[in-house]
Amino acid sequence: MPAIDLTNITAGYPGKPRPALSGVTLRADRETVALLGPNGSGKSTLMRVLTGLHTPEAGRVVAPNDRADFSVVFQSPAVDDLLTVRENLTLAAALHGANKAAANRRIEALTDPLGLADILGTRCATLSGGQRRRADLARALMPAPKVLVLDEPTTGLDIDARARFWQTLDSIRATEQLTVLLATHLADEAERCDRVALLREGGLIADASPSELRAPLGERAARIDLRPGHSDQPVRTWIDACDADARWWSAGAIIPNADARLIDTCPMDHATISLGAPTLEDAYLWHTAEESVAIT
Amino acid sequence: MTAFGALLRRELLRQARQPTRIIASVGTPALIWIFFAAGFTSINLGMDTSMRTFLVPGIASMTVLFASVFGAISLIQDRQDGFLRAALVSPAPRLSIAGAKIAAGALIATLQGLIVLLILPLTGAPVTALGLLGAAGILALISAALIGLGLTLAWRVDSTSGFHGVMNTVLMPLWLLSGAVFPIETAAPWLSTLAKANPLTWAHEAMRHALGMNPDANHTLAWAITIAASLAGAAAATATIGRSRD
């Protein structure tokens, strides 16, 4: 049985006309799955359903029976600023039923991979953003969970701290059998995952590996970004003339299998164009595009 | 250590590491007693007890009221900081989350209330160890009732500033209408009737009886109502915390 097994989940909130989730099915086992989608797409609700904080109106949730097998890293660190890192970790272990000796053994095991040695005795209020994140990840890993849920875990971190966070998580994943579910709106973080589930307006619109999501764009894609304050009509006319199978997103377009000569004809006064191997961000814009302007 | 024990330890550590909060919880009521006692010094309400002595149990319960406000605010902060969600998704019983907050708050509030009661000898009132023990019991019961009520109200409030509105419209009137600062026997009949419906009034009756200030009080009824109020407050908080707010 998969560690995470969500079938046909529909969930909403009172007073909201549209359900936050509509018929979402998702499974994961000993892999890292990213939930990628715009704000309001249902990522957080899916996390809440999975962790038991929100009861769905319909569907089946199969998650680890024992809540000790679950841990969550939230958007903001859930460590207590008035306690030291060690006190926070001991508390997390106690909440999962571990005694002090077991907690100390686990802290020892996590100290090196998470780089905690220098901060164990430090109150969390005085830690840097990156250190607090590592302390929070250690808190979540204290019960040695089978499923780790990460809800936009690098929000507010600088580039260096983000890179360190992912290095740390990768080293943990190398040694522990973890199923990781990551909610993010950052394509480069989703790129690190085995699979990416794309959500839009509460529905699951794609569930595939990053390379499979990029496949429809071919070997080279053109990304068109409209210049602010300029009409999109000249760009639409140009794409019509190019006979390109483009899809529009809110501020531009993506053209798959793009010809390098597009650069020569793009109306640069109205848009910029970048051409290259498609990124997951291009694929995300392609799959979540609301308007398809396939032109023949 | 059990989840309850670990959460209780956390609450006590948090209290110990915020000394200004402890000082404010005792210092502010003590100042209010000084001002009230000095202000009411020439007022004779026909009691055997002086006004400055009469005020002390009410001021002690005010420290408990402040503790309940701080406890409620800490719940809101826990939610804002994400700590509460982490606790709620853990296998720890939800009962232990509310239980630890009530137990830690009641312990601290009772100690603070006892410190305030040490004013009594300064007013010339005789104080016995047994009297203080009885008053401590009442303070612990009031703490459970008020902290439970505070946590229950705070569960639906999103910000600490929003909770100040709850405090001003619910908790402060509850305290003022309890015989804390004036004897309800000499109040207007409608006010006296209203005050008798307030469990905190009976807690004050029981505390003053324990301290030998009101020997004619129906202390059995007063204790029973206070115990019932504390159980109701604690039950409301434990039933509310962990319930979905969606």
B85–A53 C-beta distance less than 8 A: yes
B83–A80 C-beta distance less than 8 A: yes
Which residues in chain B touch residue A87, judged by CB atoms under 8 angstroms apart? 10, 13
| Long-range contact set of residues A130-133: C-beta below 8 Å, sequence gap at least 24 | A130/A157, A130/A158, A130/A160, A130/A161, A130/A164, A130/A165, A132/A77, A132/A79, A133/A77, A133/A157, A133/A161, A133/A165
Same domain, yes or no: A65 and A207:
yes
B7–A72 C-beta distance less than 8 A: no
pLDDT at A67: 66
Question: C-alpha angle A50/A215/A187, rounded to 5°?
Answer: 45
Q: For all residues of chain A together, what is the average pLDDT?
A: 87
Which residues in chain B touch residue A54, judged by CB atoms under 8 angstroms apart? 244, 246
With cut-offs at 50, 70 and 90, classify the pLDDT of residue B244.
low
A104 and B CB contact within 8 Å: no
Residue at which a domain ends, from A188, A212, A236: A212
A52–B92 C-beta distance less than 8 A: no
For residue B92, the distance in angstroms to the closest alpha carbon of chain A comes to 5
Same domain, yes or no: A223 and A166:
no
Mean pLDDT, range A23-28, rounded to an integer: 92
Residue A120 reports pLDDT greater than 90:
yes
Q: Looking up tokens 């005789």, which residue turns up?
A: B126
**Contact yes or no for A193/A199 (Cβ under 8 A):** no
Query: Which residues on neighbouring strands pair with residue A226, listed in sequence order?
Result: A271
What is the domain extent for residue A234?
A: 216-294
A218 contact partners, CB below 8 Å, separation of at least 6: A256, A257, A258, A278
Residue A118 reports pLDDT greater than 70:
yes
Query: Which residues on neighbouring strands pair with residue A179, listed in sequence order?
Result: A147
**Closest Cα in chain B to A80:** B83
A81 and B CB contact within 8 Å: yes
**Contact yes or no for A252/A271 (Cβ under 8 A):** yes
pLDDT at B131: 92
A67–B244 C-beta distance less than 8 A: no
**Contact yes or no for A68/B91 (Cβ under 8 A):** yes
- Tokens found for residue A209: 């590996």
pLDDT at A260: 83
**Contact yes or no for B133/B222 (Cβ under 8 A):** no
pLDDT at A153: 85
Count chain A–chain B contacts defined by CB atoms under 8 A.
Answer: 81
Same domain, yes or no: A198 and A226:
no
Which residues in chain B touch residue A82, judged by CB atoms under 8 angstroms apart? 13-14, 17-18
Residue at which a domain ends, from A196, A212, A228: A212
Mean pLDDT, range B122-149, rounded to an integer: 91
A260 contact partners, CB below 8 Å, separation of at least 6: A220, A275
Distances (CA, A) of B11 to A145, A201, B7, B103, B182: 26, 41, 6, 9, 34
With cut-offs at 50, 70 and 90, classify the pLDDT of residue A295.
very low
**Contact yes or no for A161/A191 (Cβ under 8 A):** no
**Closest Cα in chain B to A123:** B17
Which residues in chain A touch residue B13, judged by CB atoms under 8 angstroms apart? 82-83, 87
Mean pLDDT, range A25-30, rounded to an integer: 91
Same domain, yes or no: A198 and A252:
no
Helices B3-16, A85-95: crossing angle, 10 deg rounding: 150
Interface of A with B in 8-27 (CB under 8 A): 13-14
**Contact yes or no for A155/A76 (Cβ under 8 A):** yes
The tally of domains found in chain A comes to 2
B14–A83 C-beta distance less than 8 A: yes
A97–B81 C-beta distance less than 8 A: no
Which residues in chain B touch residue A74, judged by CB atoms under 8 angstroms apart? 82, 85-86
pLDDT in tens, B179-236: 888 888 888 999 999 999 999 999 999 999 999 887 777 889 999 999 999 999 999 9
Pairing label, strands A203-208, A195-200: antiparallel
Residue at which a domain ends, from A190, A212, A234: A212
With cut-offs at 50, 70 and 90, classify the pLDDT of residue A157.
confident
Same domain, yes or no: A200 and A81:
yes
Q: How far apart are the first and last CA of chain A?
A: 46
d(CA A204, CA A41) in angstroms, rounded, equals 9
A67–B90 C-beta distance less than 8 A: yes
B90–A51 C-beta distance less than 8 A: no
HEC readout, A211-274? HHHHHHHCCCEEEEEECCCCCCHHHHHHHHHHCCEEEEECCEEEECCCCCCHHHHCCCCCEEEE
Same domain, yes or no: A109 and A255:
no
Tell which residue, B139, B178, B182, B135, has the closest CA to residue B36. Answer: B182
- A53, A54, A91, A133: which to substitute to probe chain B, counting the most B Cβ within 10 Å? A91
Pairing label, strands A252-255, A245-249: antiparallel
A184 and B CB contact within 8 Å: no
pLDDT in tens, B62-83: 988 888 888 888 888 888 888 8
Same domain, yes or no: A154 and A273:
no
Q: How far apart are the first and last CA of chain B?
A: 32
d(CA B229, CA B58) in angstroms, rounded, equals 17
**How many other β-carbons are positioned within 10 Å of the β-carbon of residue B127?**
17
Which residues in chain B touch residue A155, judged by CB atoms under 8 angstroms apart? none
Same domain, yes or no: A125 and A261:
no
**How many other β-carbons are positioned within 10 Å of the β-carbon of residue A266?**
20
**Closest Cα in chain B to A145:** B90
d(CA B104, CA B85) in angstroms, rounded, equals 20
Q: Is A229 left (phi over 0), alpha (psi -120 to 50) or beta?
A: left
Of A54, A71, A79, the CB nearest to B246: A54
pLDDT at A81: 92
A95–B3 C-beta distance less than 8 A: yes
A79–B10 C-beta distance less than 8 A: no
DSSP B152-174: HHHHT--SHHHHHHHIIIIIHHH
Same domain, yes or no: A158 and A224:
no
pLDDT at B242: 64
- Report percent pLDDT > 90 for chain B: 39
**Contact yes or no for A148/A245 (Cβ under 8 A):** no
Query: Which residues on neighbouring strands pair with residue A196, listed in sequence order?
Result: A34, A208
Same domain, yes or no: A184 and A230:
no
A139 and B CB contact within 8 Å: yes
B2–A78 C-beta distance less than 8 A: no
CATH number at residue A87: 3.40.50.300
Question: C-alpha angle B66/B57/B37, rounded to 5°?
Answer: 95
d(CA A179, CA A32) in angstroms, rounded, equals 6
A194 and B CB contact within 8 Å: no
A94–B83 C-beta distance less than 8 A: no
**ipTM higher than the 0.90 cut:** no
Same domain, yes or no: A87 and A204:
yes
Same domain, yes or no: A34 and A181:
yes
pLDDT at B246: 47
B189 contact partners, CB below 8 Å, separation of at least 6: none
Residue A270 reports pLDDT greater than 60:
yes
d(CA B74, CA A170) in angstroms, rounded, equals 35
User: How crowded is the C-beta side of A107, counted as CA atoms within 13 Å?
Assistant: 24
Pairing label, strands A147-151, A70-73: parallel
Which residues in chain B touch residue A146, judged by CB atoms under 8 angstroms apart? none
